[in-house]
Structure 1
Amino acid sequence: MQSFHHRFHHSQHLLRPSTTFLLPLTTNLRHPPPPPPRFTMSISSSSIQENSEHLLTQVLTYHNQTKHSFTNYARGPRGLDWANQPNPFRRYLSAPLRPLLHPSDSDNSSPLYDSLFHSLPPSKPISKTTISEFFYDSLALSAWKSTGFSTWSLRVNPSSGNLHPTEAYIISPPIESVSDSYFVAHYAPKEHSLEIRTQIPSEFFAKLLPNGSFLIGLSSIFWREAWKYGERAFRYCNHDVGHAIAAVTMAAAAQGWDVKLLDGLGHDELKKLMGLDVYPELEIPSTTMKGKLQEIEFEHPDCLLLLYPNEIQEIDISYKDLSAAISEFSKLDWKGEPNSLSKEHICWDIIYKTSEAIKKPLTLEKNIIIEPFQKSGNCSSNPYNTLNLRELVRKRRSAVDMDGVTSMSRETFYQILLHCLPSGFQQVQKRQLGLPYRAMDWDSEVHCVLFVHRVIDLPKGLYFLVRNEEHFDDLKNSTKSDFKWEKPEGCPLELPLYELGRADCMKLSKHLSCHQDIASDGCFSLGMVAHFEPTLRKKGVWMYPRLFWETGVVGHVLYLEAHAVGISATGIGCFFDDPVHEVLGLTGSNYQSLYHFTVGGPVVDKRIMSLPAYPGPTHDA
């Protein structure tokens, strides 16, 4: 391993940043670089293949243009325009508001967190109580924070920069004291209430969806994230969708409900179902623009989740019939006008060109396959604190700093990684069958490269968690030839974790994550490496955001695992993309790093005061 160790120290020398690199969040709006070629989004009858290549080129252009490097960060605003900071709360003005119940944070009826990875409890019926608990445990406010003249809210679902671009909708049968009819409603987290947008025909559920089920739709407001992060915001919005999917799935599990992504539906169906055609179409400019652009505050429909009693073993849904029924939704009586979020905006054109390119079409041939719940592996006596799910998710926080001292046992490290496996307690990892990954309907495409800093009895160094073992040979052949690819000592048989090489990676991981100490001061940090261009070519460019969703789901599990063992975690969206690939020896676009994370002992800022989530301040913070 001498060559590996020598190369690591040599890499750290090469990875020192130039003294002339641009500061984050800077760009020149007057003289932006030439925009990427603009491609027609309609499918030509003469060449579907040519159009597919055009769409793929747009996605690859976006991905490459928004990479950070040591000499240049992705394009973003010059600084934070506080006067136009987006309102973090979407409201539909004049829509009927139906308050939900406020469960107790210490309610013992919520199942123990760890138990949900082994089996789901018996399902509860849909009621005001269970729906209130579900939203309270998934997408609600968790606290308010205050220091000096600043006050801001936190939520159960984490978000890049705490900007919360994700909005949620429920499509449900009647719920007593909420709606006497079948309905579509927007969830308002600040009020912990449902805004009733419209009533829908009873046949929609009676004929098309399983008994006892309902739907959750997720959408993104790109502007909320782009206000701070510029062009890279599209990536972060989709991280947040993944976090929301995981938060929804875990909260549903506590009610005994299973979750499945209805991914046969396309962009147009989701837009109609959630009532998002209320927004005017954005005319995408050919370059970056600044001004009063209210249409930029539209919501992009991301996904639709079916929540159903876990006792149901088989679901027969016709996407053709479902699409036909949704096509009539535009004729319904929709209530409420969306509130304005900012007075002025910046339109980063490449975000919206890319969001057009990745719009998923309706795919009638997709089937809903309900595979048996697969429990996750267990190798430790019990590293988890005896927290129930509600206590855990509502106490979860993103660490701002790590203490650089806290360590964890090797068994706890392995246990955390066992809960990161998509297939659960299986000899081969591929299908997503465990909690919360089973909500997604594709084979796992995301792996983890780990920088181990402070794990007792585990050598410091570089490790790799293979989350789809079908990729093992390709990964081994695509990375550096002298990597060891050996199972570390004490590693459970069912955990596909491999040691690549031993070295002190603290400086390296810090440099790779935009020189942030938080990446080196934890117990371990990691980068999530996705099987990238081959996936987009094989399955379609609409998989691009879904790769980020998968990283968000993994990240959400890391958040919960860290807090369950008494420490903390933080997602890291800022990292130097290609230098990460260089450390691994990856070339081309077959594999790309999409998200970084760090887990360790947090440093608590005692200057910040924590306030209850409800009732919160009367003003928008």
Structure 2
Amino acid sequence: MSSFSSSSKSNNTTQQQQQPQEQEQKLSHVLKYHNQTKHNFNNYARGPHGLDWANQPNPFRRYISSPLFPLLHFTPQQEQQSPFYPSLFNSLPSPKPISKSTISQFLHDSLALSAWKSTSFSTWSLRVNPSSGNLHPTEAYVISPSIESISDTPFVAHYAPKEHSLELRTQIPSGFFHKFFPPNSFLVGFSSIFWRESWKYGERGFRYCNHDVGHAIGAVSMAAASLGWDVKLLDGLGFEELKFLMGLHVFPEFENPLRAVKGKIPEIEFEHPDCVMLVFPSGGSVSEFDLDYKELSNAILDFSKLDWIGKPNSLSKEHVCWDIIYKSAEIVKKPLNLEDRLVVEPFQRSGVYSETETESFYKGLTVREVVRKRRSAVDMDGVTTMKRETFYQILSHCLPSGSEAGKKQRRQSSLPFRALPWDAEVHAALFVHRVVGLPQGLYLLVRNEDHFGELKKAMNPDFVWTKPEGCPDDLPLYELLRSDYRRVAKQLSCHQDIASDGCFSLGMLARMEPTLREKDVWMYPRLFWETGVLGQVLYLEAHAVGISATGIGCFFDDPVHQLLGLKDSTFQSLYHFTVGSPVVDKRIMSLPAYPGPGVDA
């Protein structure tokens, strides 16, 4: 095992030990937020009564007066110059050096626009990284050593997807990367604008912002892998370090009101720092590298003294503040952890159902073709079936530990889950509708086998827990009950046909309250990140085998738990998904991502 390890073990001011009473109060608030934002058959979570189109947030953040450095675009011929999609799950190619070309490819294949859509009434953009309601609360920052044709010095830049350009925010000290990180590495940071999501979804928007962070982590991990780069969350850093690293301290301080309010609240458009990831060459000699979080924190906090360029643009004229979102975000802020150890697990290949059938499963598509052609299906045909072998192959790529004989699923060491530093906490309860050779019914994919006993004890005692026919030995998939669940799946996903009209749908079950007690309440958003990474794999797998998928944020929480026999907050459903054949609306015209129309979406 190679590892970045913190060389500072003493003086752990991370977490001045919280009093048990304070921890319990924080946990109580998080559970209150989670329960208050549940949808139920007789009432939905609090949100707007209709959409205020006049104040729909601008989906593109820009920093006015920041220097803009255009990145490179790629021709259809260059689309083919990308690795064969399933090959990345087996091994990563040799790492490419950081350059304007490789940074352009990396962002083009992870966070850029993927298309413009147009009808007679409106035009809107789609992106490589999916978003709830296509609202895109996630903003991205590149913190990098000098790159020829972009900057002669190390820099922090905001990524502007509409222009596929980097907006230079500041220059940083020349020794920063050399002192703390391995050669040929850089950082990518994510922040969330809660207002963008709550404009449509109200109080539940905080959940969806964190789904989107997870999708972005998955998108970045896949794009990096195609260039031979590995990705790891620097989760020892705290909220304050992230804020100064991305220059988000320039936003006015937001004072949360005591109740939901409406009006002109421009400070609500601030960006909440979520996470930062190290992108570095795969397979390198990183085992000798130590990460001193204390010194790194001090260096980052000094970023407040740098000359930050650009004023953030305004997104809406008027706003609604759903106060519980901002209270919850405050409570789950992660502190600096000086004892955190950044472990980089050896790359673990994912399971392959059949070496001979891999080409036929994945239609010969490259990584770039898959990630850039991914779309969220709006409707599914209710007819198309999937082979059992294809189903097993898709689920094999959803496992965190990959495929290693005799080893349990637990550690997240396969692509793209290896970006996450914690053991898997999310499982999948599957409704199988149209998989040839597999009975219709309810199934469970156990993604951390240490939880098997806990899951079995918590769930309906009538579940049979048998391995389905033809299921690979190293795929921890269990049949629970045979039945036609199409009507139930639709009903549980807010009466949406799409949940019953695909080949299969699922609910992602997180081990929630025990995780928050064992680690701390800052794990709450991270559980949603893990569901987003899993959702990103499902999106890509579906498109790679020639069909489609859709994330479903609207579902009836407790009725899902009742169906499974869950009685408390030990396991909670955080995200639903459906995979099947899309119905394409031919009235909508598809246009190239670049150059796009000259008007904002």
**8 Å contact kept, 2:15–2:336:** no
* Counterpart check, 1:359 vs 2:333: yes
For residues 149 and 525 of structure 1, the distance between their equivalents in structure 2, rounded to whole angstroms, comes to 32
Q: Which residue of 1 aligns with 2:585?
A: 605
For residues 44 and 175 of structure 1, the distance between their equivalents in structure 2, rounded to whole angstroms, comes to 37
* Counterpart check, 1:112 vs 2:84: yes
**8 Å contact kept, 1:272–1:326:** yes
Q: Which residue of 2 aligns with 1:58?
A: 29
For residues 223 and 124 of structure 1, the distance between their equivalents in structure 2, rounded to whole angstroms, comes to 38
Residue 369 of structure 1 aligns to a residue in which SS?
A: strand
Question: 1:146-225 alignment to 2 at 5 Å?
Answer: 146-225=118-197
Residue 94 of structure 2 aligns to a residue in which SS?
A: coil
Tell me the TM-score normalised to structure 1 length: 0.92
Gaps of 5+ in 2: 1-13
AA matched with 1:423: S
Q: Which residue of 1 aligns with 2:41?
A: 70
**8 Å contact kept, 1:142–1:395:** yes
1:206, distance to aligned residue in structure 2 (A):
1.1
Q: Which residue of 1 aligns with 2:3?
A: none
Q: Which residue of 1 aligns with 2:263?
A: 291
1:50, distance to aligned residue in structure 2 (A):
1.4
**8 Å contact kept, 1:524–1:600:** yes
AA matched with 2:304: S
For residues 179 and 345 of structure 1, the distance between their equivalents in structure 2, rounded to whole angstroms, comes to 37
* Counterpart check, 1:556 vs 2:527: no
1:46, distance to aligned residue in structure 2 (A):
10
* Counterpart check, 1:531 vs 2:505: no
AA matched with 2:171: Q
Q: Which residue of 1 aligns with 2:451?
A: 471
Of the three residues 561, 566, 571, the one matched with 1:591 is: 571
Q: Which residue of 2 aligns with 1:32?
A: none
* Counterpart check, 1:138 vs 2:110: yes
Of the three residues 382, 387, 392, the one matched with 1:404 is: 382
* Counterpart check, 1:122 vs 2:102: no
Residue 327 of structure 1 aligns to a residue in which SS?
A: helix
Q: Which residue of 2 aligns with 1:16?
A: none
**8 Å contact kept, 2:118–2:589:** yes
Q: Which residue of 2 aligns with 1:240?
A: 212
Residue 123 of structure 2 aligns to a residue in which SS?
A: strand
Q: Deviations over 1:300-325 (max 9, x none)?
A: 00000000000224242111111010
1:369, distance to aligned residue in structure 2 (A):
1.1
AA matched with 1:369: V
For residues 502 and 225 of structure 2, the distance between their equivalents in structure 1, rounded to whole angstroms, comes to 30
Seen in structure 2, the aligned counterparts of structure 1 residues 474 and 89 have a Cα distance that, compared at 3 Å, is same
Of the three residues 476, 499, 507, the one matched with 1:496 is: 476
Q: Which residue of 2 aligns with 1:434?
A: 414
Residue 107 of structure 2 aligns to a residue in which SS?
A: helix
AA matched with 1:358: V
Seen in structure 2, the aligned counterparts of structure 1 residues 164 and 106 have a Cα distance that, compared at 3 Å, is farther
Q: Which residue of 1 aligns with 2:310?
A: 336
1:581, distance to aligned residue in structure 2 (A):
0.3
Seen in structure 2, the aligned counterparts of structure 1 residues 364 and 105 have a Cα distance that, compared at 3 Å, is farther
* Counterpart check, 1:266 vs 2:238: yes
Q: Which residue of 1 aligns with 2:202?
A: 230
Of the three residues 58, 73, 84, the one matched with 1:102 is: 73
Residue 353 of structure 2 aligns to a residue in which SS?
A: coil
Residue 536 of structure 2 aligns to a residue in which SS?
A: helix
For residues 92 and 612 of structure 1, the distance between their equivalents in structure 2, rounded to whole angstroms, comes to 25
For residues 163 and 75 of structure 2, the distance between their equivalents in structure 1, rounded to whole angstroms, comes to 16
Seen in structure 2, the aligned counterparts of structure 1 residues 614 and 321 have a Cα distance that, compared at 3 Å, is same
**8 Å contact kept, 2:508–2:574:** yes
Of the three residues 545, 550, 570, the one matched with 1:565 is: 545
AA matched with 1:500: L
Seen in structure 2, the aligned counterparts of structure 1 residues 578 and 106 have a Cα distance that, compared at 3 Å, is farther
Of the three residues 346, 359, 384, the one matched with 1:372 is: 346
AA matched with 2:301: S
Seen in structure 2, the aligned counterparts of structure 1 residues 437 and 47 have a Cα distance that, compared at 3 Å, is closer
Q: Which residue of 2 aligns with 1:308?
A: 280
1:102, distance to aligned residue in structure 2 (A):
0.3
**8 Å contact kept, 2:229–2:282:** yes
* Counterpart check, 1:84 vs 2:55: yes
1:53, distance to aligned residue in structure 2 (A):
1.2
Residue 67 of structure 1 aligns to a residue in which SS?
A: coil
Residue 376 of structure 1 aligns to a residue in which SS?
A: coil
1:48, distance to aligned residue in structure 2 (A):
2.0
Residue 279 of structure 2 aligns to a residue in which SS?
A: strand
Identity over aligned residues, as a percent?
71
Residue 177 of structure 2 aligns to a residue in which SS?
A: helix
* Counterpart check, 1:345 vs 2:319: yes
**8 Å contact kept, 1:533–1:589:** yes
For residues 509 and 618 of structure 1, the distance between their equivalents in structure 2, rounded to whole angstroms, comes to 41
Q: Which residue of 2 aligns with 1:34?
A: none
Seen in structure 2, the aligned counterparts of structure 1 residues 548 and 47 have a Cα distance that, compared at 3 Å, is closer
For residues 174 and 86 of structure 2, the distance between their equivalents in structure 1, rounded to whole angstroms, comes to 38
For residues 115 and 462 of structure 1, the distance between their equivalents in structure 2, rounded to whole angstroms, comes to 31
**8 Å contact kept, 1:66–1:232:** yes
Q: Deviations over 1:415-437 (max 9, x none)?
A: 00000000000331000000000
For residues 61 and 54 of structure 1, the distance between their equivalents in structure 2, rounded to whole angstroms, comes to 10
For residues 468 and 15 of structure 2, the distance between their equivalents in structure 1, rounded to whole angstroms, comes to 53
1:44, distance to aligned residue in structure 2 (A):
12
1:398, distance to aligned residue in structure 2 (A):
0.3
For residues 477 and 403 of structure 1, the distance between their equivalents in structure 2, rounded to whole angstroms, comes to 37
AA matched with 1:50: Q
Residue 174 of structure 1 aligns to a residue in which SS?
A: coil
For residues 106 and 369 of structure 1, the distance between their equivalents in structure 2, rounded to whole angstroms, comes to 38
* Counterpart check, 1:256 vs 2:234: no
Question: 1:473-488 alignment to 2 at 5 Å?
Answer: 473-488=453-468
**8 Å contact kept, 1:106–1:390:** no
For residues 219 and 310 of structure 1, the distance between their equivalents in structure 2, rounded to whole angstroms, comes to 26
Tell me the TM-score normalised to structure 2 length: 0.95
**8 Å contact kept, 1:105–1:390:** no
AA matched with 1:189: P
